[in-house]
Amino acid sequence: MKVLIVTALYPRPENPAWGAFVRAQEETLAQFGVHTDVMVINGTSSLQKYWKSLFDLRKWLNHGTYDVIHAHYNYPALIARTQHRVPVVMTLHGSDLQGRIGADGTHEAISVLDKWLSQFLSLTCEGTTVQSKLMQGMLPRNDSFIVPMEIDLDLFHPMERQAARQQLGLDPDRRYLLFAANPQEARKGFPFSGAVYERLKQRFRDLDFLVVYKEPQQRLMLYLNASDALIFPSYQEGSPVVVKQSMACNLPVVATGVGDIPEMIGNTPGCAVCPRDVDVFTEELAAILENPRRTNGRQDVQRFSRKATFDKLMEVYTYAIERFRARRPIPTT
């Protein structure tokens, strides 16, 4: 099978974390024998880059034969859907269906357009995947697939805490609270996390706050193993990859109950799902930091392995190809 991946998010030298989950899925497909090409939508402005991508897509299709086009997010899916030579699978990741969150925690006006576009494309694309049951329930069709983004369990694995700290140059005797997301992205809750840290600092004088963003996946794995807890007070998620990666490293997680987080960490001792309240987060994290220890979270994220995700993707691709063939008119002689 040959798949063309269309995406506006893909790792760059200056930001290896940008779209790392898309590259991870590309690697998953390649690992199990699927040939993949990646069309990255780049440009200096949104209008310019998407206009250019219309012509880029034609070039890709004229020079290659593909069984499926797999588009990540709704705007790349719109570009992919401008052709009808190859079936299109659209993956929705969260904000493209649930809406964009502003600094005040409410949805931005453009969220209405994003949601409408995603719902419309789910009717016209041959296959749609989403990250959670909540997202699935927001679509007009009942044939979407829940395929959360996978994690590399070989890369993200538990290691001895002091060894990880040594590689990162961190103090072996201090406590570390980790925020592993873009601090400029409003929905991730960086100011909230800072407020929790200030409260915790009053109890734990040896506590430092690590903000990790734009790091290569190998170094992110080290930070997850070097830290004592992950704080994740997001307003909205689909299926957050960094929470799964933390679980794979047996790192305690305290998070809001958004997306599929409750199912992911809710039954793992040492992790907590709680309301977005500074006092509640502070108490949950204080209990962890008082006596830092690892969890058994790795056993709870095996369903996000590359093999499990590959099997689901093959089911989606097969469905999309069959639906595409059924739609095509029978040639007349």
DSSP string, 215-228: --HHHHHHHHHH-S
Same domain flag for 112 and 215: no
Per DSSP, 299 falls in state G
Which one is predicted more confidently, 98 or 32? 32
| pLDDT tens-digit series, residues 297-327 | 999 999 999 999 999 999 999 999 999 999 8
Which residue(s) pair with 3 in the sheet?
Answer: 36, 68
38-71 pLDDT, tens digit per residue, is 999 986 567 788 889 999 999 999 999 999 999 9
One domain for residues 47 and 187? no
Query: What's the domain range around 79?
Result: 2-150+305-327
Crossing angle of helices 278-290 and 190-203, in 10° steps, is 50
266 and 314 share a domain?
no
* Residue from 16, 236, 233, 228 nearest 135 by CA: 236
Written as six digits, the tokens of 59 are: 């070039």
Q: What CATH number is given to the structural domain containing 199?
A: 3.40.50.2000
Exposed (0-12), middle (13-18) or buried (19+): which is 13, by Cβ within 10 Å? exposed
Q: Is residue 271 part of a domain?
A: yes
Residue 11, domain member (yes or no)? yes
Q: Tell me the pLDDT tens digit for each residue of 132-186.
A: 999 999 999 899 999 999 999 999 999 999 999 999 999 999 999 999 999 999 9
Provide the whole-model pTM: 0.91
pLDDT tens across 227-273, in order?
999 999 999 999 999 999 999 999 999 999 999 999 999 999 999 99
**255 belongs to a structural domain:** yes
Q: Is residue 312 part of a domain?
A: yes
Shared domain check, 228 and 172:
yes
Q: How many structural domains comprise the chain? A: 2
Let me know whether 99 and 48 are in one domain: yes
* E strand spans, 42-147: 68-72, 88-91, 127-130, 145-146
112 and 225 co-located in one domain? no
Cα distance between residue 200 and residue 283, in whole Å: 9
Q: Is residue 333 part of a domain?
A: no
pLDDT at 106: 81
